[in-house]
Amino acid sequence: MRIIKSFILILNLTGIVFAQSVEINGEKVEVGQEDLVFEVKGLVCSFCAHGLQKGMSKLKFVDKKKYTKGLYTDITHQFVKVGLKKDKKLNIDKALVTIQDAGYEVLKSYMNPTGKALEVKEYKKSPK
């Protein structure tokens, strides 16, 4: 029993080191080292989520083996979680353009590249 408790403690501590969480619109979201999370405005139906997934899955740095073809969308809490490939360089600008071209406004992005601290960026609404 003591071994099991020690193992669980180690797993919990490892999770703390390699994943951080953030609250987005009332939902606790884990951001791992291979995740990119966007808080978006306007994502309101599953059809919307499917269209966004289709566009994002074309990006070379998206790991299509994670989530559903590389993307987890939460229409209730208005966020998108992107699985990232380890061996590809992230191009956050391409991701932003893809989301904006699909008709959504990106409010914030969250990354955790070191596993120790979240990097948060806020975006202003772009003039049309």
Measured CA to CA, the distance from residue 44 to residue 86 in angstroms comes to 30
pLDDT of residue 14: 45
Q: Show the domains of the chain with their CATH numbers.
A: 2-122 (3.30.70.100)
Give the tens place of pLDDT for each residue, 42-68: 888 877 778 888 889 899 999 999 998
Whether the predicted pLDDT of 126 surpasses 70? no
- Residue 118 in contact with residue 36, Cβ under 8 Å? no
Structure tokens at 54: 């289709």
pTM for this model (two decimals): 0.80
